[in-house]
Chains A and B, each alone.
Chain A
Amino acid sequence: MLIGLALVLTPKGSSAQQQADNNPAPLSSAPPATLHGVVKNTATGQPLPRALVSVGGDSGLAALTDGDGRFEIGGVSQGPNVVTLTKPGFDDGTDDSSIMGSILGTGSFTHNVVVVAGMPDVDFAMRPSNAIHGQIQLSTGDPGENIKVTLFERAIQDGRAMWRPRDTRPTGADGAYRFAGLPDGVYAVTAVDSELDVAQMLTTSRSEVDWFAAMYYPDARDFSSAGRIRLAGGQQVQANFMLVREPFHLVRAAVASPNGAAVGNSASLPKGTMIFLTKNGANVPLEIQSVLSGLEAKVTDLDGRLLPYRPQYDAGSHTVRALLPDGTYSLRLSASRPAPAPPGGTAFRHNSLMTGQGDVSVAGHPVTNMRIAVAPAPSDSLQVLVNRTQPQPESLSGTSDSNTGVYISATLAGQGVVDQAQGEFAQGPTQGMLETNPLAPGSYWLHTIVAERGLCESSFTAGGANMAREPFVVAPGGSTAPLTLTLRDDCASLKVSLPGENAGIVAGEEPAYTVYVVPDADLTTDAPVATLRASTGGVHVFNNLTPGSYHVYTFTAAVNLEYHNHDALAALPTPGQQITLSPGDTGSLVVEVPQP
């Protein structure tokens, strides 16, 4: 990395560093000891030469392993030390890829090594990272230069598996691409020609142009039929595919105003026209012209997955135009801006959202007679209830404390690719009606955080649907079922501890355990997780647990568990420990530590 020396350093920041370097605080006054051992490759079990083992941070205490994978570092202070392993093409082996859906928990685990004089070998292992590489060919025979290739990874977020883009890069002069440093997992690849200048084509009134349609490896037109590439143990997988040149046709849609009248030209709805929407009884003025001029258009498949064809919205003629190959698409329009404060009222925190959608089939001809109506997306109300078993504590009554309340986010659901960042859906006090941010039509997983001591989730429903089991559906036009989040105040606690034989501090690398407490009943709140180590007491207390039965899973590595997937839980190497927590109880459990 290039270090710019024009950086200004503050003496304050660097003094802390200096102190850490010069005055390591040893737990004992014993003389420095020597740390030695072997680093191995987890995939082959073979010793790993030229791996860097370093102790502490920037102390310079480091060594490369020799040809037999051996290292020896002198001058290490006795007591606990943090050891890091580095080698290009390898990841530190502290995650456990034998667990379905696991990914490396970034920074969650470190090698804590208790160093004593005359200690035996301390052995480590590194996991080879994987790579996907390939060649994009063009049906014209031209070199596939500067094709945009995107890698998708299957990842676990909030206990659910989803696909998300990991990286995008252009091909080189001969069409080659490469994604390296990939952890074990499942991937998919797509390529799209970045060179079609739609704006230019549209500017010059073309209604048809030959270009390359986006493809998924291997030669699939959509994500659901795309190949899944499974990587493990340092694989280098080649994924070549071809982009085929074919006609793209003009699709043009007139955008209609909220009251249904076509906005053919700006004269039909003079600039500055105000319309009033009723929002919780308050009139919210929206300057329609300015909202429409900020319109954003997207092309998706009929399931709402974003496609890489960028349409253009022309504010002058109120038309959306796109060039698309044969196929069936959905044109989605949205515009948002912060809503102004209603006269005399308090400011709305929420954005106003205008949406519109039209489906179109392209089959060998331009489509120019579309009309898409854009209307304000209705915002929903969400009722938060608390089933109280005891009077509300005095100190927490009212809504003044900004650090307590519920936070609810929404993530686009489905087996498709997540192309939308998790958005805030609602936020507010733990009792009453909350106004939600409007969502574009689609299916969403709702995720809840209850930030108030003593409260936990009882249920979260939309109509009769359980939001932990089914996604929240926003129909075209914005209609939804009424949402109710029910909390309770008779929450339970669970104290987990390491068994006695694992709780003592011994010389060498200290084991660390990941403990998940997964409710048998589905909840939209996170399944709590903690790391247990002997040096930090080997105990953790989980509070604010919804009463009911739980399964407790313990792992010897950092694991990102797909706990909303019952099949994934059933496939775990151990069935988990079952425990039932009664309302208001504090349970305790000595975890069963997996044998290495």
Chain B
Amino acid sequence: MTNPARGGLMLQVLLAGAISAIVLPPAATRAQVPSTAATAGYRIAGRVVNSVTGEAVPGATLSAFDEEGNQVFASAIADQEGRFSIDHVPAGKYPLSASKRGYLTGYYDQHGDFNSAVVTGEGQDTANLVFQFTPSGVLRGVITDDGGDPVEGATVMLFKRSDATATAQHMRHMTNAATDDTGAYEFAGLEPGEYMVAVQAVAWYAQNATASPSAAPNPLDVAYPVTYFDSTTDEGAAQPITLDSGAREEADIVLHAVPALHFTMRVPAQTIRGDRFAPIEMRQSVFGNEISARTAMRGPSPDSPQMIEFTGLAPGRYELQQGEPAHILQLNAVTSGEIDPTAGTLAPPVSGTLRTSNGTALPDEINLVLAPADGGHQGVVAGAHKGRFQFDAVPAGEWTLAATSAGGAAQSLSVVGISTAGKETAGDRLTVADRPLSLVVTVSSASTRVKGFARTGGKAAPGAMIVLVPRDASAWPSLARRDQSDTDGSFGLADVPAGRYTVIAIEDGWKLDWQNRDVIARYLPGGEPVTITDQSGAVVQLARPVEAVAR
């Protein structure tokens, strides 16, 4: 099943480093275990072992959640041999988590956003579980300047290479840490993987104010370029750091101050609203992730009311977004100079309306994300209110559009069609050029849940990767759904829109590049077909079990 705490979110919180405790949804008050528990006789029990060494892990807190994952049903602490037991459990589904200092808080048999819930009941063996518990890693180091002094208050950025099997390989910006007075930083609670570290900092003694044109260059007008491990300012020469489970790695970086650049720009009059400017952003790309550049913007002054100046900028490549409509300028800053505000490409607004495929009402508030189809650019977000939305500035390129209902229970709304200028295209793809776009976006508001069982050789197949594969190739992967089978082999695929699908189950399938349809197509012959219509209702139970096949 899907991780109760909406997996990805929880992972991010954990990686932020401050919290290595179990992250729980707000606990509702429950005076006591329901009285049925006193008589029901099922147990959730087993051993917690270190996934690297196989040794018992004592003292872990195990928590069985209710099926919705909203609250802890019961919890236990593992003894010296790593044994735990949660007794008097009624028949049901219980996602089981473990947490302990120095380990990655996670669910039983967790794979990314999925885990196998423990299913109790007649004939279910839930008393001999082996919980593989992964020790967390630590990445730390010291940032110094070229004089050997520690750099306090530097922003150290941590990036992690996406799952090695994913189609789009990229470095994801995980979190930031600030250095202390000794220049030290630390990222704790890390998953094993390949990491990159980059540092953004301002020299404590930097004097970036504009000198009068006649004055001699100020030797203290300096900046630190973004610097990567192992002390290089060339992103291509950055050294990856491989972190094993439970490992502690060190990455020290030396920063080298260089003369800072100054750029002036005459702001077009139409970008001044009242006495305020349209937003101006100087960004830079670090492993494909956009971050705000370190610069101070000064001006305008009464003498030059439309002139602004960027100071304290290290030489490098930047992206400047300014004006209305927004212009995006790729700036290769080598020497100081003046920026032409009309240069660059227009990032036009993209606006439109939303509708559902079956004409039913939409939620009032919907969150929309435009993600670059090639994964190389940051996404753009907008909110839709009563079906209307606008993205203010979308750079030209290929995009995919995703929608989720805002508010309490975020439900994914599959984008099944986008029409521009009266021409409808199936799927969630969108091409933005240099002109404003007006869209009509069709989403499926289906909330059908496809349930079934994965089996192999007549027995339950727990932990299998379940994929709902749409027959229509253009709907891949936006209409695809995944789950992990629970300990009794059961699974559920949520928010399935109308369409024809095949459900497949792959044992140990978690290392597959599932987003690549060619990889998945191999398994289709053994799958179970299912057709969902707008009349299918809340739950469709597959008539036959899905045979889990080996990867």
Does residue B538 face the partner (Cβ distance < 8 Å to A)? Answer: no
Residues from chain B with a CB closer than 8 A to the CB of A75 are 215
Interface readout for A51-73 with B: 1 if CB under 8 Å, 0 if not? Answer: 01010001110111000000000
Contact with B204, one of A86, A146, A199 (Cβ below 8 angstroms): A86
Given contacts A2-B200, A143-B102, contact A197 B301 (CB under 8 A): no
Does residue A465 face the partner (Cβ distance < 8 Å to B)? Answer: no
Does residue A18 face the partner (Cβ distance < 8 Å to B)? Answer: yes
Quote the shortest CB–CB distance from B300 to chain A (angstroms).
Answer: 5
Contact with A3, one of B59, B294, B308 (Cβ below 8 angstroms): B294
Residues from chain B with a CB closer than 8 A to the CB of A54 are 207
Quote the shortest CB–CB distance from B291 to chain A (angstroms).
Answer: 9
The answer for the CA separation of A1 and B294 in the assembled complex, in Å, is 8
| Inter-chain contact A143/B101, CB cutoff 8 Å | yes
Size of chain B's interface in residues, with CB distance under 8 A?
Answer: 74
| Inter-chain contact A316/B29, CB cutoff 8 Å | yes
| Inter-chain contact A173/B59, CB cutoff 8 Å | no
The answer for the CA separation of A50 and B210 in the assembled complex, in Å, is 22
Does residue A205 face the partner (Cβ distance < 8 Å to B)? Answer: yes
| Inter-chain contact B277/A200, CB cutoff 8 Å | no
| Inter-chain contact A88/B275, CB cutoff 8 Å | no
| Inter-chain contact A2/B155, CB cutoff 8 Å | yes
Q: Tell me the chain B residues, 1-54 only, with Cβ under 8 Å from chain A.
A: 18-22, 24, 27-33
| CB nearest neighbor in A for B37 | A205
The answer for the CA separation of A70 and B297 in the assembled complex, in Å, is 32
| Inter-chain contact A204/B182, CB cutoff 8 Å | no
Quote the shortest CB–CB distance from A66 to chain B (angstroms).
Answer: 12
| Inter-chain contact B149/A173, CB cutoff 8 Å | no
| Inter-chain contact A11/B71, CB cutoff 8 Å | no
| Inter-chain contact A3/B295, CB cutoff 8 Å | yes
| Inter-chain contact A88/B181, CB cutoff 8 Å | yes
Given contacts A60-B207, A145-B20, A181-B181, contact A3 B221 (CB under 8 A): no
Q: Tell me the chain A residues, 1-41 only, with Cβ under 8 Å from chain B.
A: 1-12, 14-15, 17-19, 21
Interface readout for A122-144 with B: 1 if CB under 8 Å, 0 if not? Answer: 00000000010000001010111
Q: Tell me the chain B residues, 167-225 only, with Cβ under 8 Å from chain A.
A: 180-182, 186, 188-189, 200, 202, 204-205, 207, 209-211, 215, 218, 220-221
Given contacts A62-B220, A64-B220, A145-B20, contact A89 B181 (CB under 8 A): yes
Q: Tell me the chain B residues, 367-386 only, with Cβ under 8 Å from chain A.
A: none
Residues from chain B with a CB closer than 8 A to the CB of A203 are 27-30, 71-72
| Inter-chain contact A146/B20, CB cutoff 8 Å | yes
The answer for the CA separation of A195 and B22 in the assembled complex, in Å, is 8
The answer for the CA separation of A172 and B181 in the assembled complex, in Å, is 15
Given contacts A18-B299, A173-B248, A200-B63, contact A88 B182 (CB under 8 A): no
The answer for the CA separation of A9 and B275 in the assembled complex, in Å, is 8
| CB nearest neighbor in A for B296 | A3
Does residue B530 face the partner (Cβ distance < 8 Å to A)? Answer: no
Given contacts A50-B147, A143-B102, A173-B248, contact A200 B155 (CB under 8 A): no
| Inter-chain contact B75/A204, CB cutoff 8 Å | yes
The answer for the CA separation of A9 and B29 in the assembled complex, in Å, is 48
| Inter-chain contact B155/A15, CB cutoff 8 Å | no
| Inter-chain contact B204/A88, CB cutoff 8 Å | yes
Quote the shortest CB–CB distance from B72 to chain A (angstroms).
Answer: 5
Residues from chain B with a CB closer than 8 A to the CB of A15 are 300-302
Given contacts A2-B292, A5-B280, A88-B150, contact A60 B302 (CB under 8 A): no
Given contacts A2-B294, A50-B149, contact A62 B59 (CB under 8 A): no
Does residue B293 face the partner (Cβ distance < 8 Å to A)? Answer: yes
Does residue B401 face the partner (Cβ distance < 8 Å to A)? Answer: no
Residues from chain A with a CB closer than 8 A to the CB of B514 are none
| Inter-chain contact B181/A180, CB cutoff 8 Å | yes
Residues from chain B with a CB closer than 8 A to the CB of A52 are 204-205, 220
| CB nearest neighbor in B for A129 | B181
| CB nearest neighbor in A for B33 | A205
Contacts A5-B282, A172-B140, A172-B186 known; list 15 others, CB within 8 Å: A5-B281, A5-B295, A6-B280, A9-B277, A11-B300, A11-B302, A54-B207, A86-B204, A138-B101, A195-B101, A204-B73, A205-B31, A312-B29, A316-B29, A316-B31
The 5 closest A-B pairs by CB, nearest first: A173-B188, A18-B301, A180-B181, A60-B209, A195-B21
Of the A-B pairs whose beta carbons lie under 8 Å apart in the complex, a sample of 7, sorted by A's number, is: A3-B292, A15-B300, A64-B205, A142-B102, A172-B186, A180-B180, A199-B27
